[in-house]
Structure 1
Amino acid sequence: MAVPAPRVGDEPELLAAARAGDARAAHRLGKLYAQHGDRAAARLWWERAAAGGNVDSAYNLGIWHEKHGSLEEALTWYEAAAGTGDAEAATNLATLLLEQRGDAVAARAWFETAAAAGSRTAARRLALICEDAGELGTARDWYRRAADDGDVASAHDLGFLAYGSGDDAEAVRRWECAARGGHAESAYCLGLYLHASRDPEGAEAYYRLAARSEHPGAASRLGGVALSRGDLRTARGWFEQAAGAGRAEDQRMAGFVCVELGDPAAASHWFGRAAAGGDAEAAFDYGLLLIAEFGDLVGGEHWFRQAARAGHHGAAVELGGLLSVAGEHGEAKEWLSDPPPAAWDRPAEPELTARAELAAIATGRRGGVPLAAADLAEVLATWDLVTRPLHRHPDVLAWLVARSGVHASAVEHLASVRGTLVRPGSAPWPSPGELQHVLTTARDLRRRLGVR
C-alpha cells in the first residue's frame, strides 16, 4: 500500500505515533526529515520503521548508506528489503554486488529475483550478463522480457542478436519498435539495413528519424543522399552536422562540398580539422587547397609531407614535385623514386557500404573489437567488381583462380567472408586478423586482374 507523503505540520502527530511504535508513521516522519535536509534524523526514524518491518524504510536506508559510502550497511538494508520481494531493492543490491564487490554469482541471483518481480532494469542487466558470458539463448529471453516491457535499448540489442543470427525479419521488427520509442541508433541501423536491401527511400526516412536526435552517422548518410541528387547546399548542412561530431571522413566531405560551392575558407576549416586529426586524404586535399586557392606553398608542402609520411601516394608525388622546384633534389628524389603504393580509392556502392557499416557496428558491440567499415566495404566492393561480369558463370571461384593465379584457398576464404557480411548468421563474423588476411587477398586479386 502506498504511503502518503508527509506534509508540513504533520510532525507532532507523526512523532507521537512513531514513538508509540507505528512503523508506518516512523517511515513518513523519516521522509519529512529528509525533505527538510535533516539526514541524521531521517536515518534514525527509518531505522525504527525498518525494525518494525517497514520495507520502504529498509530500502531508503540502503540508498542512504550507499550515498554516504557505507557499502556493508547499504548491502544489509537492501538485502532486508529485497528479501521481502522488493524488486528495486533487489536490483540495487545486485548492482552493488556486481560493481563494488565483483560478486557476479550473487549479483545474478538477485537480478533474477528482481526480474521475476517485474524489474525491467534487472531483466536488461541479466541479458547483458548472459550475452557477455556467451549464453545467447538466455540473453535473448531476458532482452525480450525487458523489450516487451518497453525498454528500447533492449529491443535494439535484441535486433542485433537477431541480425547476427540471420533472422532479418526479427531484427527489423525489433529495430522498428526501438526506433518508434525514440532510440536513434536503432533508426539508423534500420536505415542501413534498408539501404543494404536496395530500398534507398525507406532508408532515407529512417536516417531522417535518427538525424532528429543528431545522430552523426545518419547526418552523414543524408549528406551522401543530397550529394547524389546534386543538392550541394543541403549536402553541406548534413556533412557539417556530422563533421561537428569529430568524424574525419565527414569533415573531409564537408570540405569537398565547400570547394564545389566556392567557399574556400570553409573548405580550409574542414580540411584542416580532418588533417590535424590524422586523416591523410584530408591532409593531401588541404595541401592542394592551400596552394590552389591561397598560393601558400609552405603550407601545401607541410600537409603534403604529413600525408606522404602516412602513406599517401598522391601526396608523395606532389611533395616530390614541390621539392624539385625548390631545388631540394635529394629529398625530392626519395619521394618520387619510391612513393607509397597508391591506395584503392574507388567508391563502393551505397548498399555495400551500408552492409559494411552494419557489420562494423555488430562486431563492436559489448566491448568487441569493431571491424573497420572501410575495410569491410573494400572486401565487398572488390568481390562485386571482379565477379560482376561472371554472374552467370557456372564456377566463379574456379574462373577467378584460373585467371588471377591466386591460390584457391585464399579466393575461397575471400568468398566466405564476403558471404558472412552479406548473409549474417551463415558463419561467425571475421576476426580483425582474418579481415586483414582477406584484404590482402582482395588487393592481390585486383592487381592481378587489372582492376583499378
Structure 2
Amino acid sequence: MAEPRPSEADLDRAAQQWQAEAEDGVPPAMNALGALLAQRGDLDGALHWLDRAVAAEAPGAQFNLARVLCLRGELEQAEQAYRHGAERGDSRAMNALGDLLHEQGRPGEAEAAWRWAADCGSADAQYRLGYAAYLNGDLGGADRWWARAAEAGLPSAVNALGMLHEDRGERGQAITRYEAAAAAGSELAADNLRRLRAAKPPNL
C-alpha cells in the first residue's frame, strides 16, 4: 500500500525547517528545499538552492538540479547535470539521462545510459531496456529485462510480462501477471484484464 502523501501543512512546516537549515549551510537541507520549491513551481528559488547543494556535494543534488534545468528548457545543462550525478553513483540520474537522450532522438546513447542504470539496480531502467528490446523485435531480451524489473517490484514490468504471455497464447499466465500488476496499482494492467476477456490487443 502506498504511503499517504504529506499535506500542504506538513510541507509548509518542512519547508520552514529546511529553509532555516539551508541558511545555516546544511547541504541536505539545501537539496530538499530546492526539490520542494521545484515541486511548487518556484524554479528560480529551486535553482538557487540546488546550485548551492551541488557546490556542497549534497547526495542527489545533481539529479534534482537537472530536473529543474529540464523544466526551464535548459537541456544541454540538464544533460551535464545528469552526467555529473551519474558519475557520483546516482542511478536515477543516469536513468533520467537515458530518458532525455531518447527524447532527443539519440537511441543508442539512451540505451547505454539505461544499461548503466539497470546494472546498478534501477528497475525503471530495466523496464525501459525491455521496452526498447520489444520494439526492436527482441522478445527474449524484453522478457529478461522485464523479469528483472518485475522482481524489483515494478508494476509496469509485471504488466509487460503479462503482455508477453498473452502474445504467446498463455492466457492463464497473462491473467496472473495482469492481476498482480493491477493489485500493485497498474491501471494498464487492470485495463488489460478487462480487454483480455474481450480479445482486444494489449496495452503497454
TM score, norm. by length of structure 1: 0.37
Separation in structure 2 between the aligned mates of residue 188 and residue 9 of structure 1, nearest angstrom: 47
**Superposed structure 1 runs of 4+ greater than 6 Å apart:** none
Give % identity. 32
1:148 aligns with 2:156: no
What letter matches 1:188 in structure 2? R
1:67 aligns with 2:71: yes
Separation in structure 1 between the aligned mates of residue 40 and residue 156 of structure 2, nearest angstrom: 37
**Structure 1 pair 35/165, CA: closer, same or farther in 2 (3 Å)?**
closer
How far the C-alpha of 1:38 sits from its partner, in A, is 5.2
How far the C-alpha of 1:187 sits from its partner, in A, is 1.5
**Structure 1 pair 187/61, CA: closer, same or farther in 2 (3 Å)?**
same
1:186 aligns with 2:192: yes
For these two proteins, the number of residue pairs brought into alignment is 189
How far the C-alpha of 1:90 sits from its partner, in A, is 1.7
**Structure 1 pair 150/31, CA: closer, same or farther in 2 (3 Å)?**
closer
1:134 aligns with 2:137: yes
1:58 aligns with 2:66: no
1:175 aligns with 2:178: yes
TM score, norm. by length of structure 2: 0.75
What secondary structure is seen at the aligned counterpart in 1 of 2:16? coil
Separation in structure 1 between the aligned mates of residue 103 and residue 22 of structure 2, nearest angstrom: 38
**Structure 1 pair 165/103, CA: closer, same or farther in 2 (3 Å)?**
same
Contact 1:6 1:31 in 2 (8 A): no
Who is 1:107 aligned against?
110
How far the C-alpha of 1:165 sits from its partner, in A, is 2.9
What letter matches 1:151 in structure 2? L
Unaligned runs of 5+ in 2: 1-12
1:45 aligns with 2:49: yes
Residues 300-321 of structure 1: per-residue CA shift (max 9 Å, x gap)? xxxxxxxxxxxxxxxxxxxxxx
Separation in structure 2 between the aligned mates of residue 23 and residue 132 of structure 1, nearest angstrom: 42
Separation in structure 1 between the aligned mates of residue 17 and residue 169 of structure 2, nearest angstrom: 63
**Structure 1 pair 30/178, CA: closer, same or farther in 2 (3 Å)?**
closer
Contact 2:18 2:29 in 1 (8 A): no
Who is 1:205 aligned against?
none
How far the C-alpha of 1:37 sits from its partner, in A, is 6.3
What letter matches 2:103 in structure 1? E
Q: Report 1 or 2 for greater relative contact order, CA contacts < 8 Å, sequence distance ≥ 6.
A: 2
Contact 2:28 2:59 in 1 (8 A): no
Separation in structure 2 between the aligned mates of residue 41 and residue 178 of structure 1, nearest angstrom: 38
Separation in structure 2 between the aligned mates of residue 37 and residue 189 of structure 1, nearest angstrom: 38
Contact 2:179 2:190 in 1 (8 A): no
1:84 aligns with 2:88: yes
**Structure 1 pair 156/51, CA: closer, same or farther in 2 (3 Å)?**
same
What letter matches 1:161 in structure 2? L
Separation in structure 1 between the aligned mates of residue 120 and residue 164 of structure 2, nearest angstrom: 25
Considering only aligned residues, what root-mean-square deviation do their CA atoms show, in Å?
A: 3.1
Asked which structure has the greater CA Rg, the reply is 1
